[in-house]
Amino acid sequence: MSSGNFSLLTQTVAAAGALAACRFITQAGAYPAAGAAAFGVTRTSAAAAGDLVPTDVLGTSIAETGAAITKDTPLMVDATGRVVPLTVGSKSPVAKSMEAAAGAGVFIEVLLVPSAGLVTPAS
């Protein structure tokens, strides 16, 4: 379903453990807590701690959904780094959907929003 991506900046992150491709992670190489800030989206998977993972941090990226998403929706992460619609409260936006998804497990293009402490969570 995804149309592609245009990464402006990709950083290498050492994985803290096994990671799936196309999911948001922290700069420490782990999945963030649900609704928390994230560093970027993994381009590849990691089998174990210490594996180096290219991570898109600026531009657009392909991300796995954790729920149904409509096009042009603000997004946050779930506890496994997948994108879900942003909810009101102390949640950090991480991206904006550029495509729709009928449910979880779909790969869509997202516009990355810097959120590693740079954007105040919505309230």
The structural domains of the chain, ordered by start, are: 7-112 (2.40.300)
Buried b (16+ CB within 10 A) or exposed e, 10-22: beebebbeebebb
Q: pLDDT-based confidence at 88, cuts 50/70/90? A: confident
CA 121 to the chain's CA centroid:
16
pTM: 0.91
- CB 83, CB 95: distance < 8 Å: yes
Per-residue pLDDT of 98-117, as tens digits, reads 999 999 999 999 999 876 55
Weakest mean pLDDT among 2-6, 7-11, 51-55, 57-61: 2-6
Q: pLDDT-based confidence at 48, cuts 50/70/90? A: very high
What percentage of the chain exceeds 90 in pLDDT?
Answer: 81
